[in-house]
């Protein structure tokens, strides 16, 4: 081969491979040039002149952030350089008056040099930033730019990520590398990633971040760490992301030199007031504290025979003069209570209704147990009418395949947000309880346990970025459908090729139900391996507490399978409104996807399909495996249509997901067969190994495992 030609081939292939590689770092804010030339040429003049209208009409770091985002994005997407000007918003502009975060984007019906410019108006600088990201999303998803009238405001006031990050960099239940927060290097050395984190969060409308693990370390409240927190707060401030910390209840003893942390002790109250004042001197817009107390070994007010309300109010009084809030978690189950674990939060918290200060929000996990692939909503949402309640969702996939498996969680969150509690009559959805509209109570809060880490693509599994995206979008607008969110995210992340968009959205939308099918179908729950929680472990029967085992939850026996939570069992159903208790308490009316959550069902009981429970269970597990195989085939059809790096990254994970799904199916069916004593129905692939093989599998050094084993 002539030398010049050979060089040309090498350069050409280098160019091709770099054009076809993408590590996912840019998330949904990629801003690659829009491929549709017609759209691009129409969009460029529409976005040639942009007016940012705010009450002051003055420049600020937040307005500068909006301007920078527009300049970079439009330069890359369109090859355009917009002229961006700042104006004073005319007084009483009602479109943006609903919330200080509201914005309005308007444009004329056609774009000529004489038509009025596209305008982003807001009653705060932050609203301008949110409007900017909304406009860019509009463009990235290929929508028309004429006659725009996008007005939006968030339904929930505080939209937070909760990071379960330890100060040593380990992330509890984190599957994407280490913590983003480099405590040793702060405050002097600030990773540029902090800025990108804030941009990504703000692009979704998130406005707060709890930096530290709920299994808290009091060191974060010491002066050297507060200086580091202040540095992070400074990085995030232009993007409207306020910082919050977890408060270890015993901090007055551990770092304050007191002998007690009793919430009713005046010295303890004085210590917290002084500490909080110190925090606000360093971080004037500090958001407040998130607290896990008297739960899983964390200290709390009950150590002093005080109540959760006493503990929460102590901290609430300390932050109130500064405008702070306390998010007090209701994830509790007492070592002294042998009642059904899923009842315990209501038992402990409902009697405290009305006893919390106005700046306390009781933060409740979506389900009464613990972020399982499917749970009913927690009855606590309907049991505290006089208390502000927040929802805590888990974005990190502790129980849904972590960062190895695909599980798009928007459908799960929709199911939860749309659930009717009947608390205030029919139509009292969870969404209406947490956004404050039912009770007319503010502040309103929603929190998601983050799935971010130092992996280059932020979330370990590239498609898990969609869960960060979905959570953020739902915090702003909890009426968005899963389909809308999946469509937006896919277009912004993978472009507009119709087969790419339809294949990826289909994969995303079916994936959570697929994970349910091959791991915990028909309302089965908490049958995963112990400790790291990855893979099957229905045989787990001996741990520190009965309600940490699997056998506690599935109750497999010769008589059947499932936990009887009706009046003849634990009667957990009595914690729901009568309408729900009645429906779910009936073996025939209970939704089948929660059947074994609420009922102990005979193996030969016939389900709606006409099949027995045993046969249906087997077929659901098989269906889960078949669905993963279909996902793999669908993904493989995209070869050459997206860059090789992302294609291979996802292909490898789907390959692994099939193996994991097979393991779940075989392990669970062989195990449950020891009770059902029935053969597998036709269509079930025979397991490759005996049950003993699956039981002997021990995974070690798993990411995110707090035990570190
Ligand atoms: C942060 C589950 C998790 C724990 C987590 C706990 C919680 O039990 O496995 O890692 O601790 O929930 O939400 O507090």
Alpha carbon 408 to its chain centroid, in Å, reads 10
Give a yes or no: residue 468 inside a domain.
yes
Which residues span the domain enclosing 605? 516-563+600-696
Q: Which of 101, 370, 513, 643 is catalytic?
A: 370
Residue from 166, 215, 545 to probe ligand 1 pocket by mutation (most atoms less than 8 Å from CB): 215
Q: Are 272 and 318 in contact (CB under 8 A)?
A: yes
Q: Can you tell me which atom of ligand 1 is nearest the CA of 449?
A: 13
- Same domain, yes or no, for 175 and 195? yes
- Same domain, yes or no, for 108 and 197? no
Give a yes or no: residue 656 inside a domain.
yes
Domain holding 618: CATH number?
Answer: 3.90.1330.10
Q: Can you tell me which atom of ligand 1 is nearest the CA of 214?
A: 1
Cite the DSSP H helix spans in 320-429: 344-349, 410-418
- Same domain, yes or no, for 541 and 392? no
Q: Can you tell me which atom of ligand 1 is nearest the CA of 164?
A: 1
- Same domain, yes or no, for 556 and 675? yes
Cite the DSSP H helix spans in 37-109: 37-46, 61-78
Q: How far is the CA of 363 from the centre of ligand 1 (A)?
A: 14
Q: How far is the CA of 706 from the centre of ligand 1 (A)?
A: 9
Q: How far is the CA of 410 from the centre of ligand 1 (A)?
A: 21
Question: What is the SS3 assignment for 439-466?
Answer: CCCCCCEEEEECCCCCCCCCCCCHHHHH
Laid out side by side, the sheet with 118-122 consists of 83-88, 49-54, 118-122, 103-106, 149-152
E strands, 113-270, are: 118-122, 149-152, 158-162, 208-210, 242-246
Q: What are phi and psi of 378, to 5 degrees?
A: -70, 130
Q: Can you tell me which atom of ligand 1 is nearest the CA of 706?
A: 10
**What's the CA gap between 404 and 699, in Å, rounded?**
14
- Same domain, yes or no, for 104 and 202? no
Q: What are phi and psi of 88, to 5 degrees?
A: -85, 130
**What's the CA gap between 503 and 637, in Å, rounded?**
9
Residue from 173, 451, 530, 703 to probe ligand 1 pocket by mutation (most atoms less than 8 Å from CB): 173
pTM value is 0.96
Q: Which of 152, 173, 188 lies at the terminal end of a domain, its last residue?
A: 152
Q: How far is the CA of 172 from the centre of ligand 1 (A)?
A: 8
Residue from 172, 528, 705 to probe ligand 1 pocket by mutation (most atoms less than 8 Å from CB): 172
Q: Are 359 and 314 in contact (CB under 8 A)?
A: no
Ligand 1, atom 12, residue with closest C-alpha: 370
Give a yes or no: residue 120 inside a domain.
yes
Domain holding 230: CATH number?
Answer: 3.20.20.80
Q: How far is the CA of 705 from the centre of ligand 1 (A)?
A: 10
What element of type H or E holds 327? strand 325-329
Considering just the CA atoms, what is the radius of gyration of the chain in Å? 26
Tokens of 3: 């030398």
Which residues of the chain, if any, have pLDDT below 50? 1-19
Give a yes or no: residue 705 inside a domain.
no
Q: Are 285 and 237 in contact (CB under 8 A)?
A: yes
Ligand 1, atom 11, residue with closest C-alpha: 215
Question: What is the SS3 assignment for 561-601?
Answer: ECCCCCCCCCCHHHHCCHHHHHHHHCCCCCCHHHHHHHCCE
Q: Can you tell me which atom of ligand 1 is nearest the CA of 365?
A: 13
Residue from 297, 370, 400, 532 to probe ligand 1 pocket by mutation (most atoms less than 8 Å from CB): 370
- Same domain, yes or no, for 556 and 623? yes
- Same domain, yes or no, for 57 and 201? no
- Same domain, yes or no, for 198 and 145? no
Give a yes or no: residue 167 inside a domain.
yes
In Å, what is the CA distance from 550 to each residue of 353, 546, 554? 32, 9, 6
Active site residue 398: yes
Q: Can you tell me which atom of ligand 1 is nearest the CA of 172?
A: 10
Instruction: Please state the domain count of the chain.
Output: 3
Give a yes or no: residue 587 inside a domain.
no
Ligand 1, atom 13, residue with closest C-alpha: 331
Q: Are 678 and 505 in contact (CB under 8 A)?
A: no
The torsion angle over the Cα atoms of residues 141, 93, 474 and 704, rounded to 10 degrees, is 100
E strands, 334-431, are: 360-365, 389-394
Q: Are 646 and 638 in contact (CB under 8 A)?
A: no
The crossing angle, in degrees rounded to 10, of helices 613-636 and 644-676 is 170
Q: What are phi and psi of 69, to 5 degrees?
A: -65, -45
Cβ count near 402 (within 10 Å): 26
**What's the CA gap between 599 and 583, in Å, rounded?**
12
Domain holding 46: CATH number?
Answer: 3.30.379.10
**What's the CA gap between 1 and 592, in Å, rounded?**
67
Q: How far is the CA of 570 from the centre of ligand 1 (A)?
A: 24
**68 SS3 class:** helix
Q: How far is the CA of 548 from the centre of ligand 1 (A)?
A: 12
User: Among positive and negative, which fits the CA dihedral 227, 232, 237, 242?
Assistant: negative
pLDDT in the model for residue 14: 42
**349 SS3 class:** helix
Q: Can you tell me which atom of ligand 1 is nearest the CA of 292?
A: 14
Q: Which of 398, 455, 615, 626 is catalytic?
A: 398
Active site residue 370: yes
Pocket of ligand 1 (CB under 6 A): 164, 172-173, 214-215, 292, 296, 331, 370, 706
Q: How far is the CA of 676 from the centre of ligand 1 (A)?
A: 33
- Same domain, yes or no, for 110 and 200? no
Q: Which of 434, 459, 480 lies at the terminal end of a domain, its last residue?
A: 480
Q: Which of 68, 296, 353, 645 is catalytic?
A: 296
Q: How far is the CA of 487 from the centre of ligand 1 (A)?
A: 32
Listed residue (542, 515, 517) closest to 530, CA to CA? 542
β-strand pairing of 360-365 with 325-329: parallel
- Same domain, yes or no, for 449 and 407? yes
Q: Can you tell me which atom of ligand 1 is nearest the CA of 296?
A: 14
Q: Which of 125, 152, 179 lies at the terminal end of a domain, its last residue?
A: 152
Give a yes or no: residue 391 inside a domain.
yes
Give a yes or no: residue 503 inside a domain.
no
Q: How far is the CA of 100 from the centre of ligand 1 (A)?
A: 34
The Cβ-side half-sphere exposure at 44, using a 13 Å CA radius, reads: 14
Q: Are 496 and 40 in contact (CB under 8 A)?
A: no
Residue from 166, 290, 296 to probe ligand 1 pocket by mutation (most atoms less than 8 Å from CB): 296
**What's the CA gap between 405 and 467, in Å, rounded?**
13
- Same domain, yes or no, for 88 and 229? no
Q: Are 383 and 439 in contact (CB under 8 A)?
A: no
- Same domain, yes or no, for 240 and 141? no
523-547: b or e for each residue (b if 16 or more CB lie within 10 Å)?
bbbbbbbebbbbbbbbbbeeeeeeb
Q: Is 700 exposed, middle or buried (0-12, 13-18, 19+ CB in 10 A)?
A: exposed
Q: How far is the CA of 291 from the centre of ligand 1 (A)?
A: 13
């Amino acid at each position: 081969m002539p030398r010049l030609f050979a060089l040309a081939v090498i350069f050409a292939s280098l160019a091709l491979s770099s054009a076809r590689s993408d590590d996912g770092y840019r998330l949904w804010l990629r801003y690659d040039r829009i491929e549709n030339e017609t759209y691009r040429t129409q969009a460029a003049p529409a976005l040639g002149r942009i007016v940012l209208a705010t009450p002051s009409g003055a420049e600020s770091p937040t307005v500068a952030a909006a301007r920078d985002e527009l300049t970079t994005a439009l330069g890359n997407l369109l090859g355009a350089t917009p002229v961006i000007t700042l104006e004073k918003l005319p007084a009483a502009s009602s479109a943006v008056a609903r919330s200080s975060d509201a914005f309005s984007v308007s444009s004329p019906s056609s774009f000529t040099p004489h038509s009025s410019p596209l305008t982003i108006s807001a009653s705060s600088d932050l609203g301008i930033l949110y409007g900017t990201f909304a406009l860019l999303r509009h463009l990235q998803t290929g929508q028309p730019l004429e006659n725009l009238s996008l007005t939006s405001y968030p339904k929930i006031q505080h939209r937070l990520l909760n990071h379960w990050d330890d100060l040593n960099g380990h992330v509890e239940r984190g599957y994407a590398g280490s913590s983003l927060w480099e405590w040793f290097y702060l405050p002097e050395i600030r990773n540029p990633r902090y800025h990108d984190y804030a941009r990504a969060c703000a692009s979704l409308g998130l406005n707060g971040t709890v930096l530290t693990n709920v299994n808290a370390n009091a060191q974060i409240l010491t002066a050297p760490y507060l200086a580091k927190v202040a540095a992070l707060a400074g990085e995030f401030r232009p993007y409207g992301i306020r910082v919050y910390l977890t408060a270890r209840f015993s901090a007055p003893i551990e770092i304050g030199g007191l002998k007690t942390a009793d919430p009713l002790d005046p010295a303890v109250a004085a210590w917290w007031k002084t500490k909080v004042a110190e925090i606000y001197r360093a971080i004037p817009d500090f958001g407040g504290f998130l607290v896990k107390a008297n739960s899983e070994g964390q200290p709390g007010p009950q150590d002093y025979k005080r109540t959760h309300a006493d503990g929460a109010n102590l901290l609430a009084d300390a932050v109130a003069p500064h405008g702070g809030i306390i998010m007090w978690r209701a994830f509790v189950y007492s070592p002294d209570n042998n009642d059904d674990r899923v009842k315990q939060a209501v038992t402990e918290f409902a009697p405290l209704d009305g006893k919390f200060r106005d700046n306390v929000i009781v933060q409740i996990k979506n389900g009464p147990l613990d972020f399982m692939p499917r749970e009913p909503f927690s009855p606590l949402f309907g049991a505290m009418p006089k208390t502000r309640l927040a929802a805590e969702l888990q974005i990190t996939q502790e129980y849904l395949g972590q960062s190895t498996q695909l599980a798009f969680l928007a459908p799960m969150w929709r199911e939860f947000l749309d659930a009717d509690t009947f608390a205030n009559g029919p139509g009292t959805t969870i969404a209406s309880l947490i956004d404050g509209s039912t009770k007319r109570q503010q502040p309103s809060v929603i929190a998601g346990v983050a799935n971010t880490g130092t992996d280059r693509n932020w979330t370990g599994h590239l498609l898990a970025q969609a869960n960060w995206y979905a959570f953020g979008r739902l915090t702003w607008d909890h009426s968005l459908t899963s389909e809308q969110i999946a469509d937006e995210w896919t277009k912004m992340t993978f472009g507009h090729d119709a087969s790419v968009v339809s294949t990826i959205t289909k994969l995303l939308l079916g994936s959570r139900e697929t994970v349910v099918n091959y791991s915990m179908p028909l309302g089965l729950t908490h049958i995963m391996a112990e400790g790291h929680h990855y893979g099957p472990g229905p045989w787990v029967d001996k741990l520190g507490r009965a309600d940490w085992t699997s056998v506690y939850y599935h109750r497999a026996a010769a008589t059947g399978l499932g936990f009887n939570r009706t009046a003849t069992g634990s009667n957990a159903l009595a914690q729901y409104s009568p309408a729900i208790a009645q429906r779910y308490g009936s073996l025939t009316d209970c939704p089948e996807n929660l059947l074994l959550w609420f009922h102990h069902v005979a193996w030969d009981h016939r389900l709606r399909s006409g099949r027995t429970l045993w046969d249906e269970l087997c077929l659901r597990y098989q269906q889960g495996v078949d669905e993963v195989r279909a996902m793999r085939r669908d993904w493989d059809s995209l070869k050459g249509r997206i860059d090789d790096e992302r294609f291979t990254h996802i292909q490898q994970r789907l390959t692994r997901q099939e193996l994991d799904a097979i393991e779940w199916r075989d392990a669970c069916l062989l195990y449950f067969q020891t009770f059902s004593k029935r053969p597998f129905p036709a269509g079930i692939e025979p397991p490759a190994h005996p049950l003993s093989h699956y039981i002997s599998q021990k995974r070690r050094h798993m990411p995110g495992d707090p035990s570190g084993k």
